[in-house]
Amino acid sequence: MEGIGNKGKLVKWVNQLEVLAHPAVGAFWTHCGWNSTLESICEGVPMICTPCFMDQRVNTRYIADVWRVGLELERSKMDMREIEKVVRRVMMIEKEDGMRERC
């Protein structure tokens, strides 16, 4: 908690749909379960996809390659630089490419 300071807030539970509906949300880092995917699309929020298993990998392919409403962040590439790169990229593509509008 000391490390976060005024930069953020940790809570036990929040209504994900309400968070995604907030205008300050620029992207949603998700495991790509079907409910999270639908909620993000319904709120028009681009996704950073890090699937764990089963249908999440298929959902990621649709999100990133077919619908083009998000980018994949592979678990094998999870370091600070790669995370920053993907976050910056999804925020820039969203503005340039209309990713949010496609959602």
Q: pLDDT tens track of the chain, all 103 residues?
A: 777 788 888 888 999 999 999 999 999 999 999 999 999 999 999 999 999 988 999 999 999 999 999 999 988 878 999 999 999 988 887 666 777 778 7
pTM here is: 0.84
Name the DSSP letter for residue 47.
E
- Indicate the SS3 state at residue 74: coil
Instruction: Give the residue among 85, 73, 62 at the shortest CA–CA distance from 29.
Output: 73
Does the domain at 27-102 match CATH 3.40.50.620? Answer given as no
Phi, psi of 30 (to 5 degrees): -135, 155
- Indicate the SS3 state at residue 93: helix
